[in-house]
Amino acid sequence: MKRLLLVGAGHANAQVLRSLADAPLPDVEVTVVTPNVLAPYSGMVPGWLSGAYDFSEICVDFGPLAAAAGATLVVGELRELAPDQHRATLANGVTLDYDVLSLNVGSTLNPPDLPGKLVLSLRPLGRLRQSWETLLAEIRNSPADSSFTVTAVGGGAAGVEALLGCLARLRALQPNRKIRGTLATRGKALLPGLAPGAVRAAHKTLANAGVTVLLDTEFNETIADTSDLILWATGAQAHDWQRNSGLALSDQGFIRIDEQLRSVSHPNVYAVGDCAEWDKPLPKAGVYAVRMGPFLVRNLRAALGDGSSEAYKPQRNFLVLLATGDHRAIASRGGWSAHGALLGRPLWHWKDHIDRKFLNRFVFSASPKVAPHSQTERILEGQQ
């Protein structure tokens, strides 16, 4: 009996479970570890922040998905990895042994500690729900006769989309309140990598939303003092456990992988998405985890004795549909862009269709079940 351990409820590991639901592997014991059974799909998070979706609409439910795949679901968080011993230790002390490991845990952020300030970190996504819902409750109960300033720190897509979404939601909650927006980035331009036309459209959208854009600006005390809510959306950071994992890492602490998505130091460990780093680093964007998914599926199956592996080759350009918080979107691919009063809403509906179609692949109605094996018994004992 071989043991496959999936750590993280990311877009690629979801595709692995979907594959196992369609075509189970005999004599393979599958365990999936996630801190949250409901795993938000990153592409729909801005729409949820703006109020366009309920939280349940943007999530993959890993309970029925794991059950359909015949996998044991463990609600927990990785604390320590011992790749030479083929063992993972969770925060609750449970240890899990594996023959093949797939890491799809995303990245994190370490915002500054600012006493008295509301700081909302946009990573990890699993913790964002509670923070945002707590904030909304506080806003509902706060006086509407004072101004309120929301500042996003970070000039990438996450910062732009989150700021526009938050402003839309807060203004809908308190339409008579003066709610301002600021975006600060140390970069010299917004949205690096997007088409020039899309960047211009984003600047116009931000201006129309009353947002002051501060380029080439480090976050500082003045910005903090003049902000009531700070959205922390700077560059992705590696989880602490990665730095002590024994895996080969990049200078930033991300797991170095080869063309088969394997750790360059431990070939029975696979890593995809934000937690991994290619020889030529890829942007930390959810689209790469989605695109890596089919290759991860094939290569994990090959590692477990089913078929042959395949090299992943990142595509040079990909479509970006930037949500603007008002049921509109800006499109960008390579040097091409689409936007404007006539196209904004159709682009949003296109984005909504693509995102829902992706999520619908993982919808199952079965309840989670526990397979009768010794490792499962240890898991349950650790959770009691």
DSSP states of 19-81 as a string? HHHHSPPTTEEEEEEES-SEEE-GGGHHHHHHTSS-GGGGEEEHHHHHHHTTPEEEE--EEEE
Amino acid at 164: L
Q: Are residues 172 and 26 in the same domain?
A: no
Give 366's pLDDT tier (boundaries 50, 70, 90).
Answer: low
Give 139's pLDDT tier (boundaries 50, 70, 90).
Answer: confident
- How many Å apart are CA 84 and CA 87, to the nearest integer? 8
Q: Are residues 201 and 213 in the same domain?
A: yes
> 3-state SS of 301-367?
HHHCCCCCCCCCCCCCCCCEEEECCCCCEEEEECCEEECCCCCHHHHHHHHHHHHHHHHHCCCCCCC
Q: What is the pLDDT of residue 142?
A: 85
Q: What is the pLDDT of residue 121?
A: 93
Does residue 341 lie within any of the structural domains?
Answer: no
Cα 67 to its chain centre, rounded Å, is 23
Q: What is the pLDDT of residue 347?
A: 98
The answer to whether 155 touches 124, Cβ cutoff 8 Å, is no
Q: Are residues 80 and 131 in the same domain?
A: no
From 221-235, 275-289, 341-355, the region with the lowest mean pLDDT: 275-289
Does residue 259 lie within any of the structural domains?
Answer: yes
- pLDDT (mean) for 201-222: 97
- pLDDT (mean) for 380-384: 39
The answer to whether 50 touches 104, Cβ cutoff 8 Å, is no
- Residues 362, 364, 370, 372, CA torsion sign: negative
The answer to whether 320 touches 290, Cβ cutoff 8 Å, is no
Residue indicated by tokens 């930390």: 284
Does residue 226 lie within any of the structural domains?
Answer: yes
Q: Are residues 287 and 273 in the same domain?
A: yes
- For residue 7, pLDDT over 80 is answered with yes
Q: What is the DSSP letter of 181?
A: E
**Residue at which a domain ends, from 215, 235, 255:** 235
Find the domain containing 179 and state its range: 118-235
Give 127's pLDDT tier (boundaries 50, 70, 90).
Answer: confident
Does residue 287 lie within any of the structural domains?
Answer: yes
Q: What is the CATH number of the domain that holds 270?
A: 3.50.50.60
The answer to whether 196 touches 332, Cβ cutoff 8 Å, is no
Does residue 63 lie within any of the structural domains?
Answer: no
Does residue 53 lie within any of the structural domains?
Answer: no
Mean pLDDT over each residue of the chain, to the nearest integer? 92
Per residue in 66-80, pLDDT tens?
Answer: 999 999 999 999 999
Q: What is the pLDDT of residue 23?
A: 97
* DSSP 3-state of 155: coil
In a 13 Å sphere around the CA of 285, the CA atoms on its Cβ side amount to 21
Q: What Rg do the C-alpha atoms of the chain give, in angstroms?
A: 21
Give 258's pLDDT tier (boundaries 50, 70, 90).
Answer: very high
- For residue 324, pLDDT over 70 is answered with yes
Share of the chain above pLDDT 70, in %: 95
**Residue at which a domain ends, from 264, 293, 315:** 315
- pLDDT (mean) for 295-324: 94
Q: What is the pLDDT of residue 22?
A: 96
The answer to whether 16 touches 66, Cβ cutoff 8 Å, is no
Strands 38-40 vs 59-61: parallel, antiparallel or unpaired: antiparallel
The answer to whether 125 touches 106, Cβ cutoff 8 Å, is yes
- For residue 384, pLDDT over 60 is answered with no
- pLDDT (mean) for 19-23: 97
The answer to whether 220 touches 109, Cβ cutoff 8 Å, is no
Q: Are residues 95 and 124 in the same domain?
A: no
Does residue 162 lie within any of the structural domains?
Answer: yes
- Nearest CA to 18 out of 70, 75, 96, 72 is that of 70
From 228-232, 287-291, 328-332, the region with the lowest mean pLDDT: 287-291
Q: Are residues 272 and 124 in the same domain?
A: no
- For residue 369, pLDDT over 80 is answered with no
Q: Are residues 161 and 131 in the same domain?
A: yes
From 214-228, 230-244, 318-332, 358-372, the region with the lowest mean pLDDT: 358-372
Q: Are residues 124 and 209 in the same domain?
A: yes
Q: What is the pLDDT of residue 170?
A: 96
- pLDDT (mean) for 254-270: 97
Q: What is the pLDDT of residue 368?
A: 45
86-104: b (≥16 Cβ within 10 Å) or e: bebbbeeebebebebbbbb
Q: Are residues 125 and 219 in the same domain?
A: yes
* DSSP 3-state of 136: helix
Q: What is the pLDDT of residue 119?
A: 92
- pLDDT (mean) for 322-327: 97
Per residue in 85-111, pLDDT tens?
Answer: 999 999 999 999 999 999 999 999 999
Helices 286-303, 11-22: axis angle to 10 degrees equals 40
Q: Are residues 231 and 245 in the same domain?
A: no
Does residue 361 lie within any of the structural domains?
Answer: no
How many folded domains does the chain comprise? Answer: 2
Q: Are residues 125 and 208 in the same domain?
A: yes
Q: What is the pLDDT of residue 373?
A: 37
- pLDDT (mean) for 292-307: 97
- How many Å apart are CA 128 and CA 338, to the nearest integer? 30
User: Edge-to-edge, what's the strand order for the sheet holding 320-323?
Assistant: 320-323, 329-333, 336-338
- For residue 273, pLDDT over 60 is answered with yes
Q: Are residues 217 and 250 in the same domain?
A: no
**Residue at which a domain ends, from 235, 265, 282:** 235
CB under 8 A, 24+ apart: contacts of 88-92: 88/5, 88/7, 88/33, 90/33, 90/382, 92/382, 92/383
- pLDDT (mean) for 20-39: 96
